[in-house]
Amino acid sequence: MVRTPHGAVRGRYEHGIAVFRGIPYAAPPVGPRRFRPPEAPEPWAGVRDAAAFGPTAPKPPYSGAFALYLSDPAVPGDDCLNLNVWTPEPGPGARLPVLVWLHGGALTRGSSAVPVYDGRTFARDGVVCVSVNYRLGVEGYGLFPDAPANPGLRDQLAALRWVHQAIAAFGGDPDRITLCGQSAGAISAGVLLAAPQTQGLIRRAVLQSGPPEVSERDRVRRMVRRMAARLKIPATAEAFAAVDRDLLLRTQAEVGRLSSPVLGGPAFGIVVDGDLVPGDPLRALTEGGAARDVRLLMGWTRDEYRLWLVPGGLVERVDRLGPVALAGAMARCHAGADVARGYRALHPEAGTAEIVGQMVTDHLLRIPLHRLADARPGGCHLYEFAWPSRRPGLGACHALDLGFVFDSGAVPESTRLAGEGAPQELADAMHGAWVRFAATGDPGWRSWDASHPVRIFGDGDGDGDGVAYTAHGPRDAQLALWPAAATLPRPAPDPDIRAPGAELASAVRRLRRSVGARRR
């Protein structure tokens, strides 16, 4: 039994690890709290059972193609603002390092109940692990004239404050908190790093396949407006709150089905709100001095794009579209023809889908993460995950690294993406690096400097043992193709001004129509 700020909870010992699941850190976001910032939960009397995962945030299921690869359990209930704690030594006095996990899922899917995110292995190795649920989709990131922006991000801040206040009772050290996330979780972690309200709460941070970024307000607003048009209601929080939740989720899935990191389109995202997100977070971290004392571990997978393109059969379609697809990617990435020609020269055997995928990955992930590392020499460690899945066509795709970071390759949900027979020695190497970083700030390889050291996991090449080795500037030739202007963060447009770039939107629409026509 452990006492939290709002009441006592009773967990369970599993494999020698104390586990507490479903602890509320905020009140249920229902009724008048819907679409509003989180509020503290009501204190409870007695001892609350914390044996099972709490309710997950409302979300649509993955489409059939993606569900073959990704697990996303749903737990019904309103009390979805909850978290889980794995600890080897509950009780004050242990002062162990703490890792707080923010799941990915494009801010529309995912939860802390995904079996791949089992925190037991971190606790086994001396790190208190906390995983967090937060609001998703239109309820977490819809942009309305009558409600504050970014309630899902505000949920994460509330959870982080809860951890800072309560984790000592679970054996954790509130002064050694590592905020860690993947994909949308990494984007969230990066934005929180730059937020004035988190100063002093985060000691270290891990950004896996996601840079600090904000979405254009118009892009998010278009998502809300399209949902409103289908529902035949005003695009207000009051009107959306009156819609049946299942209908709302179905409408959200329908409107967002053609949006992807490669094709673009309207989507939910974190926006500048003048409060929690006062400006561009990448600029704040690279030029404004935000979180200068926070050490960073950042990286990507070698073939991020394959999870975006393979499940729906888009690799073959993009290859057939050829120049049309490449033109769409150039517009999407604000890149000229010389950039595309440079990728062709560096990868002469690659098909169009690989060229497009690598260009978009560089634009969205590698360029901003390199910029962040360049601005903080000595304070960052970079990695690339290169082991290819045993599932056909996936390569070293987005999210494949998670089963290795959590050392959870034995669970069936990990094999959906990795296939059978994932190497345990690779999990030992990656998981061990994350444990060392959470404990000491040093994952075990050279920090970023002018030689651009990058730890490569699972390549089998280089001067290492095939599990991990350090390469210097492995992406430099690719990233040098981009003009300096392409690496600068773009300010979010004024809420009352339509975002510029009509030629970009037109090119992306043409690509999406071409893909849709071929799909039909």
Tokens standing for residue 91: 């009780």
The residue behind tokens 């977490």 is: 140
State the catalytic residue, choosing from 370, 381, 398, 431.
398
What is the Cα Rg of the chain in Å? 22
φ/ψ bin of 91: left (φ > 0), alpha (ψ from -120 to 50), beta (otherwise): left
- Any catalytic annotation for residue 183? yes
For the sheet with 47-49, list strands across it. Answer: 2-4, 7-10, 47-49
Query: 3-state secondary structure string, 255-323?
Result: HCCCCECCCECCCCCCCCCCCCCCCCHHHHHHCCCCCCCCEEEEEEECECCHHHHCCCCHHHHHHHHCH
The whole-angstrom separation of Cα 198 and Cα 70 is 31
The whole-angstrom separation of Cα 437 and Cα 86 is 18
Contact 189, 291 (CB under 8 A): no
DSSP letter string, 382-429: EEEE-PPPSSTT--SBTTTTHHHHTT-TTSHHHHHHH-S---HHHHHH
The whole-angstrom separation of Cα 18 and Cα 119 is 11
- Any catalytic annotation for residue 15? no
The whole-angstrom separation of Cα 373 and Cα 101 is 22
State the catalytic residue, choosing from 111, 112, 131, 183.
183
- Any catalytic annotation for residue 398? yes
Tokens standing for residue 247: 């209908």
Catalytic residues: 183, 304, 398
